[in-house]
Chain A
Amino acid sequence: LEYQKFQEGERLLEERSLLGRDTFAKSSLLIDFPEEEGGEEELQAVSIIDLLDAFKEILDRAPSSKTMEIQPDNLSIADKIDEILGRLKSERVVDFSSVFANLEDRRHLILTFLAILELIRQRLIKVEQSQPFGKITLYLPQETEQ
């Protein structure tokens, strides 16, 4: 019964003036998905080693704090996960290293990295790079939740 109800919805939608069928416009919607910058590079899967290498580079760049500061810190991996997902939702494609931008505290860096690993494990994000040792990008998988 519920199915039939939505069949009506489907019919109503189909009757509308559909862009690309009944009406046309200068619209990015009618052009296929915009290519990534740099054109038609094949994206390659990223191994955990690539990720670790990339992360090590970021860690190396981070200033090593000589003084130990102990701050009450409520930041959790879950917060980081939400933050990364939030960014991906609005930007769709996020550069791996840019996730770490503006983070100086090593603990935050590590927390962020762990969040990325967790997201990959749960298949909530995908990571790919355009060439070996190239930039690594994160994006939302087209695959949905299990």
Chain B
Amino acid sequence: MNKLFIKGLLEALLLVSPKPLTLETLSRILDDCQRSDIREVLNLIKEDLLSSDKGFYLEEIGEGYQFRTKEEYAPWIKKLEGIRPVKLSKPALETLAIIAYKQPIIRTEIEGIRGVDAGSVLKTLLERRLIKILGRKEIPGRPIAYGTAKEFLELFSLKDLSSLPTLKEMEREGIT
């Protein structure tokens, strides 16, 4: 396969995939290609889209690649039938932020920070698959520890957890 063919093939795969395509998946499909070659062509696609006047770009999220529409088109895209804009409530976003920055975290810790019951928010976030149960903390009662799920990265366009914007507070304490 020559590079031009691979480029087209990758674009086609990216177009139809319902979730971000990982290098792992791509190299399984293009089984006679080196991973590094695939990555190289992906970067080529990315640059091509950036330098052109296309309506979308290639985003790297959660170890995967996904075509994304440019932000300036959002108001019109929302008019498209079947598109349901994502809305996160204030408590959901707040809880998500706490979990994102402090995972693994248990329910009582979240409630301690927010000062209100977290049960229903956690339920919603679990349902929307934005968070997941990481396991149990080895402290009395072995409470469930929560963390963010892959879908969290996708929703917030993050490449990985380390690309979360750093909090000033944490910078000062040298945690990050």
Task: Please name all residues of chain A whose beta carbon is closer than 8 Å to the beta carbon of B71 when the two chains form the complex.
Answer: 17, 22-23
Task: Please name all residues of chain A whose beta carbon is closer than 8 Å to the beta carbon of B94 when the two chains form the complex.
Answer: 6-7, 10
Most chain-B CB neighbours within 10 Å: which of A5, A13, A30, A33? A13
Question: How many inter-chain residue pairs (CB < 8 Å) link A and B?
Answer: 132
Judge whether B74 is part of the interface by a CB distance below 8 angstroms: yes
Most chain-A CB neighbours within 10 Å: which of B98, B123, B132? B98
Residues of A contacting B: mostly: loop
Task: Please name all residues of chain A whose beta carbon is closer than 8 Å to the beta carbon of B123 when the two chains form the complex.
Answer: 142-144
- CB-contact partner of B155 in A2, A26, A29, A33, under 8 A: A29
Measured CB to CB, the nearest residue on chain A to B101 is: A9
A16 to B155, CA, bound (A): 9
Interface residues of B in 8-27 (CB under 8 A from A): 15-20
Task: Please name all residues of chain A whose beta carbon is closer than 8 Å to the beta carbon of B93 when the two chains form the complex.
Answer: 10, 13-14
A residues contacting the other copy or chain, number (CB 8 A): 36
CB-based contact B98/A9 at 8 Å: yes
Task: Please name all residues of chain A whose beta carbon is closer than 8 Å to the beta carbon of B144 when the two chains form the complex.
Answer: 144-145
A19 to B153, CA, bound (A): 10
Judge whether A89 is part of the interface by a CB distance below 8 angstroms: yes
Judge whether B42 is part of the interface by a CB distance below 8 angstroms: no
A140 to B85, CA, bound (A): 27
Interface residues on B, range: 35 or more
Task: Please name all residues of chain B whose beta carbon is closer than 8 Å to the beta carbon of A16 when the two chains form the complex.
Answer: 156-158, 165
A126 to B124, CA, bound (A): 16
CB-based contact B18/A6 at 8 Å: no
CB-based contact B86/A19 at 8 Å: yes
Interface residues of A in 26-54 (CB under 8 A from B): 26-33
Task: Give min CB distance, A10 to chain B, whole Å.
Answer: 4
Task: Give min CB distance, B108 to chain A, whole Å.
Answer: 9
Measured CB to CB, the nearest residue on chain B to A89 is: B133
CB-based contact A25/B67 at 8 Å: yes
Give me 18 A-to-B residue pairs in the complex whose CB atoms sit less than 8 angstroms apart, sorted by A's number: A7-B94, A8-B168, A17-B71, A18-B86, A18-B155, A20-B85, A24-B77, A25-B59, A26-B66, A27-B19, A29-B19, A32-B84, A33-B127, A33-B128, A140-B133, A142-B127, A143-B123, A144-B144
Given contacts A19-B157, A23-B59, 16 further A-B contacts (CB under 8 A): A3-B114, A3-B115, A6-B98, A6-B167, A10-B96, A13-B93, A18-B86, A19-B86, A22-B71, A23-B68, A23-B71, A25-B66, A25-B68, A31-B84, A32-B84, A145-B143
| B residues in contact (CB < 8 Å) with A | 15-20, 59, 66-71, 74, 77, 83-87, 93-94, 96-98, 100-101, 107, 113-115, 118-119, 122-124, 126-129, 132-133, 143-144, 151, 154-158, 164-165, 167-170
